Structure 1
Amino acid sequence: MIAGALQTLTLSPFYLWWLGPLSVFMILLITVNQAPEKLFRSGWLVGLGLFASGASWIYVSISEHGNTSIPLAIALMVVFIAGLALFHGLAFWFWGKLTKSSAPRRLLLFPAIWILSDWLRGWLLTGFPWLYLGTAHTDGPLGGLAPITGVHGITFWITTTAVAIYGAWWLIQSGRKVSASAVTVAALLPWFIAPALKATDWTELGKEPLSFAAMQGNIPQQIKWDPDFLRDQIVTYLGMTEPYWETDLILWPETAIPIPQDQAGPVIEHIREKLGENSTLITGIPWYGYSSQTEDYTFHNSIMAIGKGEGMYHKQKLVPFGEYVPLEGLLRGLIGFFDLPMSSFSPGPKDQSPLASSGMNITPYVCYEVAYPDFAAINARNTELLLTISNDGWFGDSIGPLQHLQIARMRALETGRYMLRGTNNGVTAIIDHKGQITERIPQFQRAVLTGEFYTATGNTPYMQTGSWPVLTLALILIVFVRERVIPAN
């Protein structure tokens, strides 16, 4: 559990990236020689430590915004954390099945098992692509691998490094010091090469910067969907934007216009009239209408470009219980948490067109979507700018919103593009093509962020291949290193 909890400290707001290999090394010390039947428990405890320390912010949305009593909120949080920890438990169980009691096989297969478990967790049942070890290297030395391998490739090398250190220690005990030195050098080499790669430009930035303004309204979550306060929210954002109508790109956060687009015609028209000739405003807005995908009238959580831009994007990756309720017929109405406002969205269709603004194509991500590495990379192909809107008011002053910001930074680093981030209550920021924040405003304040950004052309290697090279390598290792291929001794 301690080893799992250390991995949370590698991420924002702690940034102790060097604890990543240490955590994995600690796990190996305990498990490499452990009986196979005990590995499920060990893996589950690792996951329990990781998610209890790194994802317990879910309690804020369940308790404070889900109209749920404290004991029930705690119980639901525990179920959530214990359920996520099963991914690690099952991965370690599978690891034991493949390797039996062979320490060499366990060492060789550990990175492959870890990566496939991470990928599965980010895919199964919508997925929870959060707390990946590689995300810590937005500020760590392996960040230079991100445009080549993506976050899973970085995680793979973190685990490989820990395996190599353990293996070198074992070789020294066996009197094979030359082999131990060779293993150590091979493991550490990428840690010295990757920083140089981070200086490499995989994309080409535009020559002229464009102006940007983002409004952080800091609207209390308790009144977000209260009909008595809908008009006040729109007036707030219009007032904040008043000095910035001539800005090239203006950004309002997720559902900044808290009424569906079919009822927001006067607001949208007013924005068009106020915008400068070459200005675009992009805002979050619910969409309601007939969907050919569902063959019925439905709601989408959407983002819309107004003015010099055009386009409407419907969110594809929905948050379970926040935007839709799994097993709705059984759970809806059972407790307040299953009846959160606007928890009946439908996912948008695949292959949607990017948003457009003054001739540039923009890839939008609504809130949770930015956490999916391959989804983000594929959608970013042949566009010039990334943009994400969110409402992290669901998670209060926990570490969740700060983790979310770091995840957005990793997506910028993987794609070699600027990422513009607009949120209701923070963190609103401009992130450059190297994943570094150039401008930001404090959380929990009503404020306007202003700054400049550059468009980018060209695709990074990771955008072209996604995570498949790393996942394929993991599968190859499993095929050729499993128990029936390499003898036990």
Structure 2
Amino acid sequence: MINIIQNSRVLLVYLIPFSLGVLSVLGFSPFNYTFVNFLIFPCLFLILSFVRKKSKNKYRKKPYLKNLFLVGYSFGVGFFLSGTHWISYSLTFDEIFFYLIPVSLILLPMFLALFFGFASLVSGFFIKNDFVSIIIFITSFSSIDYIRSKIFTGFPWNLWAYSWVEHIEIIQLLNLVGLFGFNLLAISTFCLPLLLFMGNKKRNLIIISFWLFLFFSNYIFGSISINRNNIELSEVKKKDDQIIKFKIISPDIDLKYNLSTIELEELINKLIRFSEPEKNLNTIFIWPEGVFTGYNLSDISEFDYLFKKNFSKKHRIIFGVSALGGEPSNFYNSLVLIDHNFQIINQYNKKKLVPFGEFLPFENILQKIGLKKITQGYGSFINGGNQKNINIFDYQILPLICYEIIFPELTQNSPENTNLIVNISEDAWFGKSIGPHQHFSKSIFRAIESNLFVLRSANKGFSAIINNKGQVVKSLTPSERGNIEMEIPLINNSIKNKNDLIFFVLLFTYILFVFTIKIKFNDKK
């Protein structure tokens, strides 16, 4: 069997890497079988090593660099096909997009796979079955993850770090090293079994033992940090007149356009019923993004009498809606904060817009061939730009709309006085797929990185109250409707991950180590 694999270019370069990529989805939510990555990374490394070794005989008359690239590319196609196929579900809501489903399902993974292709090309060129090659392999794949998270509009989806989301003690390190630093360490951990196949067994066992010591020390650190935090939170008490409750609403409603006036009124009444307002209790209600899809703020304001009737001066309501952007044809995707009289207290306009979902790249050209953004309306939303936090009572709230939660730089660059994150989302676009599960896992990471509570309200997604250590305190699943509520303690935000410096320090350390070993090896020659 091994001989068949070794002598088959189709298996080595295409089918096996592709299968490993498909298998990788099991490492992420909702499966969270982290252990599969301890198989995937060693196998991918050994394939690249074997292809390079064969380059001087079996592949010598063929462009072996192309083969190295294709190994990573095939892996990438499988990775993104299995991990992001749910995106195509959003194209089923409007029949004019049906023909684009194969494009989303096939061409998007084929494009994103280029990143892994370049990572395997760079690392594969140097790979041998030695320790230095493992370091090069790790730095290449962690660097390419960083690049794909930043280039163009950025797409930091399913970084390998996220496969640890259920191991809450382990990921407490995020607050110190950040997402990309932790991602590099995660890949390093997944590559650990490779040392069992290398020479110098004694040295390798020492390295494995030392890394396992660090791993379990980190687990103990995370466990102590969580326990200490829970004690501190339990000691936070407020006077009765200072108590403010946050109530997150999950309506579980279907996406529908062109509602009649009666239907729109019933929708608002339904949201109010789920909110269960108590007139004498200070409460901030958080409704999800997308419940008013297809309508703008002025449309909803016509129902202000419903808000005046059901809410009191002690109430504030947060919800997502389209808002006019100055010119009649310009709209923002916005999060607004209103009082019981439907007076706008604050408005946040989304910064990170979804390509093709909320804006159409090269709009002037693509509109001529009949393309438009997936959400209702032909015009693209406009970018919100830099904005301040939402200030309400003693809370300095960082608002994030939908997939903005996947970008760590938005929390890193938030004002120093930020003490709460509110994320509203519309996950009905992705049906009963793995998409909402993966989306939710990013909220847990942002909570730990920023050392803040994250309040998430999602329609047909996971609505949750996540504490500053990433523990899910209360939640509603995508199929549940209703509300969850809690008094949110004010958190000192002085301890948070503020930049990607640690990632670059680790990356430089790895690269410096490679050069040091290479220099010593050349001196011995």
Q: TM-score range by the shorter chain?
A: 0.7 to 0.9
Deviation at 1:34, TM superposition (A): 2.8
1:262-273 matches, cutoff 5 A: 262-267=298-303, 271=307
Q: Secondary structure at the match of 1:153?
A: helix
Q: Deviations over 1:359-396 (max 9, x none)?
A: 21111110010001222232264211111000011101
Match of 1:74 in 2: 102
Q: TM-score, normalised by structure 2?
A: 0.82
Identity of aligned residues (%): 25
The one-letter amino acid paired with 2:218 is A
Moved more, 19-28 or 118-127: 19-28
- 8 A contact 1:251–1:283 mirrored in 2: yes
If you compute each CA radius of gyration, which structure gives the higher value, 1 or 2? 2
Residue 160 (str. 1) matches residue 177 (str. 2): no
Match of 1:42 in 2: 71
- 8 A contact 1:268–1:306 mirrored in 2: no
The one-letter amino acid paired with 1:34 is V
Aligned match for 1:190, one of 209, 214, 228: 214
Residue 113 (str. 1) matches residue 140 (str. 2): yes
The one-letter amino acid paired with 2:492 is T
Q: Deviations over 1:202-253 (max 9, x none)?
A: 98755447422222222322x1454664444333323333434535221011
Match of 1:474 in 2: 507
The one-letter amino acid paired with 1:43 is G
Deviation at 1:406, TM superposition (A): 0.9
Match of 2:56 in 1: none
Aligned match for 2:160, one of 133, 139, 142: 133
Residue 170 (str. 1) matches residue 202 (str. 2): no
Q: Deviations over 1:422-449 (max 9, x none)?
A: 0122211111222122212232344223
Q: Secondary structure at the match of 2:27?
A: coil
- Alignment RMSD: 3.0
Match of 1:298 in 2: 330
Match of 2:251 in 1: 217
- 8 A contact 1:305–1:356 mirrored in 2: no
Residue 411 (str. 1) matches residue 411 (str. 2): no
Moved more, 73-82 or 14-23: 14-23
1:232-381 matches, cutoff 5 A: 232-244=266-278, 246-258=281-293, 259-267=295-303, 271=307, 274-290=310-326, 298-307=330-339, 310-332=345-367, 334=369, 338=373, 340-342=375-377, 344-350=380-386, 352-379=387-414, 381=416
Q: Aligned in 2, Cα 1:289/1:157: closer, same or farther, shift over 3 Å?
A: closer
User: How far apart, in 1, do the equivalents of 2:291 and 2:375 lie?
Assistant: 18
User: How far apart, in 2, do the equivalents of 1:272 and 1:92 lie?
Assistant: 60
Deviation at 1:403, TM superposition (A): 0.7
- 8 A contact 1:150–1:467 mirrored in 2: yes
- 8 A contact 2:338–2:345 mirrored in 1: yes
Deviation at 1:194, TM superposition (A): 1.8
1:44-59 matches, cutoff 5 A: 44-59=73-88
Q: TM-score, normalised by structure 1?
A: 0.87
User: How far apart, in 1, do the equivalents of 2:512 and 2:417 lie?
Assistant: 36
Q: Secondary structure at the match of 1:397?
A: coil
Q: Aligned in 2, Cα 1:126/1:66: closer, same or farther, shift over 3 Å?
A: farther
The one-letter amino acid paired with 1:211 is K
Q: Give unpaired runs (5+ residues) of structure 2.
A: 1-17, 53-63
Aligned length: 475
User: How far apart, in 2, do the equivalents of 1:377 and 1:303 lie?
Assistant: 20
Q: Choose between structure 1 and 2 for higher RCO, CA contacts under 8 A separated by at least 6 residues.
A: 1
User: How far apart, in 2, do the equivalents of 1:302 and 1:163 lie?
Assistant: 43
User: How far apart, in 1, do the equivalents of 2:496 and 2:213 lie?
Assistant: 21
Match of 2:455 in 1: 420
Q: Aligned in 2, Cα 1:94/1:336: closer, same or farther, shift over 3 Å?
A: same
Match of 2:10 in 1: none
User: How far apart, in 2, do the equivalents of 1:428 and 1:96 lie?
Assistant: 43
The one-letter amino acid paired with 1:23 is I
Q: Aligned in 2, Cα 1:67/1:233: closer, same or farther, shift over 3 Å?
A: farther
User: How far apart, in 2, do the equivalents of 1:67 and 1:421 lie?
Assistant: 32
Q: Aligned in 2, Cα 1:339/1:50: closer, same or farther, shift over 3 Å?
A: closer
User: How far apart, in 2, do the equivalents of 1:341 and 1:232 lie?
Assistant: 21
Moved more, 159-168 or 263-272: 263-272
Aligned match for 1:28, one of 18, 34, 45: 45
- 8 A contact 2:34–2:164 mirrored in 1: yes
